[in-house]
Amino acid sequence: MNNGILIRPAGVEDIPAIHLLAHQIWPKTYGHLMSADKLQYMLQLIYDPASLEKQMQERGHVFLLAEVDHRPAGFASFSATNETGIYKLHKIYISTGIQGKGLGKTLLNAVIEEIKRLQATALRLNVKRDNTAIAFYEKQGFAIIKEEDIDIGNGYFMNDYVMEKKLSI
């Protein structure tokens, strides 16, 4: 998939597009996996414009925006961890209307190329334990390395697998 696709670094000027994409994608992706209250709580917690700005400017998250025919169609974010050579993929989402057409793989590969330039040896991510995306990640070379239950406040937990892909430099 390459026709009309641009993957580029995203900055604070792209926060409205990321915010809108998240609010379009999350209900379709997670609506059957969590309560409506938890979904809204998490959207507010993670994708409020002030939260996105803090992720970009204070937490060192690098965002990439995928555009198809000059329109935002997906995004990813990643950052270094406290472990040398290990990076974390925080987010990767593709508009539901174009999922399954290779854009997710293209965006993931763009993240991997970016972190390889930074001497990364592995990429980790968290994925909800009952999310069908696990199969996508396994197909891309990720393996489950552990389970993690994260208290996100308000009585909610994220019950995730941590997955990792080893990288050759």
- Using alpha carbons, select from 113, 115, 64 the residue that is nearest to residue 91: 64
Q: What is the pLDDT of residues 64-116, one digit of tens each?
A: 999 999 999 999 999 999 999 999 999 999 998 888 889 999 999 999 999 99
Q: Which CATH architecture has domain 5-166?
A: 3-Layer(aba) Sandwich (3.40)
User: In the predicted model, what is the mean pLDDT of residues 126-152?
Assistant: 96
> So where are the chain's domains?
5-166
Q: What is the pLDDT of residues 52-71, one digit of tens each?
A: 999 999 999 999 999 999 99
Residue tagged 């994708």 (tokens): 47
pLDDT band at 169 (very low <50, low <70, confident <90, very high): low
Q: In 10 A of CB 113, how many CB atoms?
A: 10
pLDDT band at 1 (very low <50, low <70, confident <90, very high): very low
Produce one character per residue of 55-86: b if its CB has 16 or more CB atoms within 10 Å, e if not: bbeeeebbbbbbbbeeebbbbbbbebeeeeeb
Is residue 75 within a helix (H) or strand (E), and if so which, with residue range?
strand 71-80
Query: pTM for this structure?
Result: 0.93
